[in-house]
Chains A and B, each alone.
Chain A
C-alpha cells in the first residue's frame, strides 16, 4: 500500500486545473474525494505522476435549489448532500441514495462529482442521475459543454468525458414526487449487489410518469426506459410491476463476482426494483 512518487497540484480555479491537465496530458488526473483513485494508487494499480486536487476550487462546491432546476457543484460531498434541507425537500431521493453509499467516513470525503465521473458501475449516483435525467457540465480547453447522464456512460471507466475535461456540476429538474433508491449489498461500505432508482408521478390511482435506472447490473448504469414505460398508465398493481421487472431484465447484463452468480443478481435486481417501485408509489 505504498504509492509510486507523484507530484501534487492544488489549483484554486478551473483554468489553472485545466492548464495542468493540458500540460501533463495522460500523466495527470484530477482528484475529488480520492476514495477510488487513492487506493488504486496505493495498490500501484494506478500510476498518476501528476495528481490535481480540486478541493481548493470554491466554484465547484455548493447546492443551488432553483425554482425550476437544481444545480449541485461537483465537489459537494455526500455528507453535504445528506445534510442540505432545501435539497432534501426538493429532491429527497438524493439524500436516500447518498445515505446508502459507503460509510460516514467515506461520505465526508466522497463527492457527487467524483461518484458520477468515475465511471465505476458500482457507484450509486450514476443510476440516480439517469433516473433524474440529469445534465452533466464538463469544462475543457474548448470551453463548457453539457451531456445527458443517460448518454454519458460507455463501459466500465469509459465515459463521454475527455481526458482533458473536468466535470464541474450536475443539474436536474425538480423530480417526480414518488421516489426510492433500494440497494442490496453484503455489508456497509460495499458496492450494490443490485440497486434500483425509481421516480413515480401519480394522479389518483394512475401512474402518470415514471423513471427507472439500475446500479451495478452491467458495465454501466442501466437506464431502464422500457421498464418505466410499462408502469405509465397503470395502477402500479402486481401485474404492472411484473411487466416492469421483465422489461428491466432485458436491459441489464450482470456478471458474476464475489457477490454472486448471474441468476442470483437477476433475481435480486427484480426484488430491489419491486421494492423500489412499491415504496416510490406509496410516496407519490
Chain B
C-alpha cells in the first residue's frame, strides 16, 4: 500500500463524489468555453445544404410547383418535391402517434410553414436563393384554427388522405376531422357521484398552445456512403435508437448499416423527440447526390413547424361533500392536434398520461374522455418538459381544486390538505388506474405552508383587498398554491411502447484495467447533465470515483439500445439500468476480491470503494486492485475482464411530487406583475446531485413562468402563426426571471434500485399552475373563477376590466 496515511472512511466517500454530492457538471467545461459539438458544428468534405420552401397558407391546394428557375440558380444542385419522393414512398412518413404526415406537400398544405419543397445547394446562401425562386401556385381553402369548429357538420375536410368513416390508429373516428376518442375511468359511476353531490364545480380550463423552443433548433446531417452502403446520420434526436429503427423501416436500409449520432444537444424539452421532414429530406438528398447534406432550421421555422405542446380544452366537473371531501372528478378534453397527429406518446396512450389528473387527491371515482381533433395548425403535441400530457393534467386538477374552493367558500390550502392521499395509503390505486408508488404529501405541504408564512400572507392579502376597495391602492396580492403529483419514467414494457418498441432502457459498463471506467447508455442528455449524475450513481454502486468514469451517450454504433430521453425517464429507467449494471460489476468484483483475499465469496463485503473481509477491516482489496486483477490474473472459474450490461424494464412508473407556492403582486391598471416569492419544494425520491436538481428546478420554473405569463403559439383566423419570432414568443431574460427558493423532502421510490424518481420536469408541471393560480387568487375576492393563460399584461388588464375594476 502507499506511504501516505490511509484515508478515513468519510474521506473515501467524499472522494468518490457519488450520490448526494453536489458535483460540478463535467459537461460545463466544454460548454462554457464554446467547445460544445452540436449538429451545426458537423462539417464534412463536400457537404451540401438543404432548405425548405414553406407554405404561407394554412390550408390550400397546390396547383403546381415550378422548380426550373430555382434549379438554374448557381450552386443549386436539386429541388425535391413530393413528386420526387413518391417513387421512394417517402413523400409521407409515419408519425409516432400512428398517423402519417406529409414529408413534402402532396397535393395540398394543411398548416402555415408546412414543408413544400426541399432545395439542395452547395451553400446556405444558394439554398436560400433557390427557395425564393421556386414558384408555387396555391388555391386557398377554408381555414380551421378552432378545434370545436373543426367538428362542425359542415366543416371542411382537412385530411382528404384518410378514408371517410374508417377507424384511426386509436379506434373509431366520428367525424372527418376527428382523430380519436380515448377514455379512462368509470363514466356512469362518476356521473352518479357528481350528480348526487352536495357541491359541484364546473369549469372550462384551457391550457394554451405553446412551444418548447430549445436554444438550438432542429437539424440533421445525413451522409450516405455509396461504397460501404452505410448511412451516418447526425441529428438533434432525443431518441437516437428509435430514429435508427424508424429510418431503417422507412428507407429499407438494414439497421446495421445505419449509424445515428446525437452529438451535444442544446435543449430539447420534447421538441426533438419526433421525426421531422427535414431529417427525411436530408437523408434522401444524400442518397440522391451521394454527398453529405445538412439541414438546420431557423428560429421562425422551429416555432412555426416543429412540434408544439399543449392546446388542450379541458371541460371539468368536480364534486364534494359540503365539508369539502371530494367525491368525483370528470373531464372531457378537446385536444387540438393540428394537421397531423404527431404526438409523441407511448403508443397505447394517445392522450399520454393525462389520466394522472386526479393529482395528489384521494378521489373515489373519476372519468376522462379525450377527443383528438385535426385543425390547420402545425402538428406536434409533445411533452414540453413534462411527462406525456402530465402538465395539462396537473394544471387541470389544480385549477379545479381552486374553483371548488370558491364554490365551497373554503381556503384552497385546507381543501387540498383534507383531500390528500395519506402516507399510509401508498401504494395507492387511483380511480383512473395508476398505482402511485410512494408519497408523503401532508409533510411536504406543512413544510411549504410554514416556509412561506401562509397565514400571514393571507392576512396581508386581505388588507390589500380592503385598501383597494377603499381606493388607497391599485395593487393586489395573489397566493398561487399547487401540490402536484407527476408520473414519469415510462415505462413498463407491458404497457409502454413507441411504435412497438418497449420503453426499457439500458446501460453498459466497462471497467478498464487501471480502475477507471466507461459507461454507455441508451439515453441522451440535452443539458440534463447525464455525464455528471450517472457517473455519480456508478461511483456509489461500484466504488470508482465519479471523476474516473466517462459517460457516453448518443452514438447508436456504440451505445446499447434505449428509448431516449424525455418524460423524466432517464433517471427512473436508464438510471436504474446503470445501478443494476453496476451491481453486476460488483458481484463479479466480489468473487475476484474473495479469491485475492483467499476467503469465501460470502466472507467479503463491499465498503465504499473496496471489498473487506468481514470482521477484519485491515484486509481488503480496492476496486482499482480488483480491476487490475480482473484483466491480468487467471482466476479459476471467472472469465477475464470486468464488464456488464443491463436492460432495465421498470416494474412501475415513479411518482415525484411537490408543493409550490407563488406570491405575486399584480398592478390592476397596467396588468403587470411582480413575483415576490416562488417557493418550490420537490420530492424526487433519492437525490443524486442536489446542485443539478437545483439547476433543473430553476430552469423548469423559468419555462413554467414563461408559459403561464406570456408564452404562446397563437394563430389568427386565417391561420397565420402570430408568434413566430422571439419578439412575440416570450422567452424570459434575466430581467423578467423571478428569484426562486428551492426545498425538498425525500420519499424514495420503493421499486427503483436507488429510490430515485426523476425531477427534470417537475418544475414545469408544478410551476405553471402555481403561477397561474397566483393570478387567479389575486382576483378571487373580486369574483374571478377562470381566466385563460397566458396571463400577459393585456389579458390581466382585461380580467380586471371585466370585473369592473377600472370603473
Contact = CB atoms under 8 A, between A and B. Distances in A.
Interface of A: 1-2, 4-5, 43-44, 103, 184, 186-190, 193, 258-261, 263-264, 267-268, 271
B794 A184 contact: no
A187 B298 contact: no
A2 to B, nearest CB: 4
B12 to A, nearest CB: 48
Given A43-B300, A260-B792, A261-B798, 18 more contacts: A2-B127, A2-B128, A4-B129, A4-B132, A44-B128, A184-B672, A187-B735, A189-B727, A193-B793, A193-B794, A258-B723, A258-B728, A260-B797, A263-B801, A264-B793, A264-B798, A268-B793, A271-B669
Interface of B: 51, 124-125, 127-129, 132, 298-300, 669-672, 710, 714, 722-723, 727-728, 730, 732-733, 735-736, 792-794, 797-798, 801, 806
Nearest 8 Cβ contacts at the A-B interface: A260-B794, A2-B128, A264-B794, A188-B735, A1-B298, A188-B733, A258-B728, A271-B669
Contacts of B125: 2, 5
A109 to B, nearest CB: 17
B794 A187 contact: no
Contacts of A187: 710, 730, 732-733, 735-736
Contact of A1 (B299, B727, B733): B299
Contact of A186 (B299, B669, B710): B710
B800 to A, nearest CB: 10
A211 to B, nearest CB: 24
A151 B299 CA distance: 38
Given A44-B132, A258-B722, A260-B797, A188 B736 contact: yes
Q: Is the interface of B mostly helix, strand, loop or mixed?
A: loop
Nearest to A190: B727
A184 B730 contact: no
Nearest to B123: A2
Nearest to B726: A189
B730 A186 contact: yes
A194 to B, nearest CB: 10
A184 B128 contact: no
A200 B669 CA distance: 24
Contacts of A271: 669-670
Nearest to A270: B669
Q: Is the interface of A mostly helix, strand, loop or mixed?
A: loop
A193 to B, nearest CB: 7
Contacts of B714: 258
Contacts of A5: 125, 129
28 contacts: A1-B300, A2-B125, A4-B128, A44-B128, A44-B132, A184-B670, A186-B710, A186-B793, A187-B710, A187-B732, A187-B733, A187-B736, A188-B733, A188-B736, A189-B733, A190-B727, A193-B793, A258-B714, A258-B723, A258-B728, A260-B794, A260-B797, A264-B671, A264-B797, A267-B801, A267-B806, A268-B670, A271-B669
Contacts of B736: 187-188
Contacts of A1: 298-300
A103 B722 CA distance: 23
Contacts of B735: 187-188
A103 B734 CA distance: 11
B792 A186 contact: yes
B738 to A, nearest CB: 13
Contacts of B794: 193, 259-261, 264
Nearest to B736: A187
Contacts of B792: 186, 260
Nearest to B474: A271
Contacts of B672: 184
A267 B733 contact: no
B798 to A, nearest CB: 7
A130 B413 CA distance: 53
Nearest to A256: B794
Contacts of A264: 671, 793-794, 797-798
A4 to B, nearest CB: 7
Contacts of A190: 727
Contacts of B132: 4, 44
Contacts of B797: 260, 264, 267-268
A2 B129 CA distance: 9
B733 A103 contact: yes
Given A103-B733, A184-B672, A187-B736, A2 B723 contact: no
